[in-house]
Amino acid sequence: MYRCPYCKRLFKTFFGVKIHVGRVHLVMRCLACGVMVPNLKRHIYEQALKRNEAHMVLLALIPHTTKCWRYEKNRKLLEECTEKAMEVCKVNGGGGGLSGARSRGSRP
């Protein structure tokens, strides 16, 4: 018997564990929309390209070591995403946070 080191589930073969890990543990949940995808970075990137705000923020926050950041147009996208993420993450002394972005346009 072989046991998955991550969830202790038992399998008859080592190959069974490999398939299980690939199917169950390598699938990650997207923090922006909750979908389970085998290639999370690609999913986030594709959604960010469509200017999906939640995914743009997420894209800026995950480590981006993939080759695609070599391209100029992707770097521009990353810059845009980083700006959004910084806005979301920023905590101002005078009560900022997520709702702070909305009140930016209005003047007292």
| Residues of the shown chain interacting with Zn ion in the complex, contacts defined by CB under 5 A | 4, 6-7, 9, 30, 32-33
How far apart (Å, rounded) are the C-alpha atoms in residues 75 and 81?
10
**Least distance to Zn ion, CB of residue 104, Å:** 25
The closest of 81, 27, 21 to 56, measured between CA atoms, is 81
Nearest residue to 51 (alpha-carbon basis) of 42, 62, 59? 59
User: Closest CB to Zn ion among 28 and 100?
Assistant: 28
Type of residue numbered 29:
R
Shortest distance in whole angstroms from residue 4 CB to Zn ion: 3
Report the chain's terminal Cα–Cα distance, integer Å: 69
* Nearer Cβ to Zn ion (54/96): 54
Nearest Cα residue to 58 out of 44, 46, 70: 44
